[in-house]
Structure 1
């Protein structure tokens, strides 16, 4: 069974899937679709949030 790091928490908003590729509906001249990559605003694209101890450290 794999062991996970205890100090790393998965983002509640994106569940660890921090970026998404969204198609715009248009195509490039070579036939590929035009996509936009959007990052989760909460974790800023990392997929993890800081543990509560790090957030409280500054008082």
Structure 2
């Protein structure tokens, strides 16, 4: 039986591509490239964001 999980909104900062690898242009001794792994700071690498809380009106 399929498992139905609720749809979670995709992070609007990274559009679901939560981690990228950026080449530095240098190479290791074995010839492979040196990479930097960068994770989205908003969703912490999950690709999904929690919905923004509703604004609470204060005052009169």
Q: TM-score, normalised by structure 2?
A: 0.73
Give the gaps of 5 or more residues in structure 1: none
Q: Which has the larger radius of gyration?
A: 2
Q: TM-score, normalised by structure 1?
A: 0.74
Give the gaps of 5 or more residues in structure 2: none
Q: In the alignment, what sits opposite 1:21?
A: 21
The structure with the greater share of residues assigned to strand is 1
Cα distance in 1 for partners of 2:11, 2:5 equals: 15
Displacement over 4 Å in runs of 4+: none
Q: In the alignment, what sits opposite 2:35?
A: 35
Superposition RMSD in Å: 1.8
Cα distance in 1 for partners of 2:15, 2:51 equals: 15
